[in-house]
Amino acid sequence: MSGETAVAGTRLTLELWHPGCWAIQATERHPGGILAHAVYDTPVAGSTTVNGLFTAYGGTEADVERLVQDIESSPLTESLTELQTSFDTRRRRIAPGSVSREFFLEHDPSDMICPLLLEHGFVHSAPCKIEDGWEYWDVRYAGERSEIETQIESVCEKTGAEIEIASIGTVGGERERARRLDTLTRSQREVLEAAREHGYYQWPRETSTRELADQLDISKSTLLEHLRKAEAKLLDP
């Protein structure tokens, strides 16, 4: 509109725990994690449950199997229908783990926090990730940034949830980041994603360049070359 400035909005990553969640409980007890993709109405007329599409992932097939069994046996879930198991042998990152399994799950929507987040202005922009008993939500908030803390406090009061803001930024800032990421070669992007995923940029570091190189099946010198070139492209003005 002429004479008006469009609101770019705020992007956030929320680190979230709330009671009565089968996914949080399962990942507290087992290694691996869950991606929550979408929720659908159950096809059974008059039912009070919904169906959701999820992906369980882990380092081994046994890890994923234990995680799925825990979900299926939870008193908070109904029927679970397994779809397919995938092995990420070529590191295409189907899911964060080496093995992933898609499934439909019927469950009570009142256990979900997503509708309440939406009610308070937080619109999810990517699948929710659940690991180590915590949910990680990438969301957008179109209101004033000064309102965010109040809205989060309201969600916590209504649900007994614990919510921390893991990251925050302006939506418009993503375009420049995406442009710079597009300049990376496939090898540079793969090395950079592995470094971020395994805590190379955490302090203290959670992995070494030798460990990263072994995981990617490349030499340490090759890893460092790809990593330095990627960092230069992303950080140079």
| Domains observed in the chain | 8-172 (no CATH), 184-232 (1.10.10)
pLDDT (0 to 100) of residue 1 = 36
Q: How is residue 215 written in tokens?
A: 């995981």
pLDDT (0 to 100) of residue 92 = 47
pLDDT (0 to 100) of residue 233 = 81
pLDDT (0 to 100) of residue 177 = 67
Give the separation between CA 144 and CA 76, rounded to whole angstroms: 36
* DSSP-derived secondary structure letter, 60: S
Give the separation between CA 165 and CA 158, rounded to whole angstroms: 18
pLDDT (0 to 100) of residue 107 = 86
Calculate the dihedral angle through the C-alpha atoms of 108, 22, 34, 234, rounding to the nearest 10 degrees: 100
Give the separation between CA 236 and CA 232, rounded to whole angstroms: 6
Give the separation between CA 220 and CA 189, rounded to whole angstroms: 16
Q: How would you write the pLDDT of the chain (237 residues) with one tens digit per residue?
A: 333 334 458 889 999 999 999 999 999 999 999 999 987 765 556 667 888 899 999 989 999 999 999 999 999 998 999 987 887 655 445 567 789 999 999 988 877 898 899 999 999 888 899 999 999 999 999 888 899 999 999 999 999 999 999 888 877 655 666 677 788 898 999 999 898 888 887 766 778 889 899 989 999 999 999 998 988 887 765
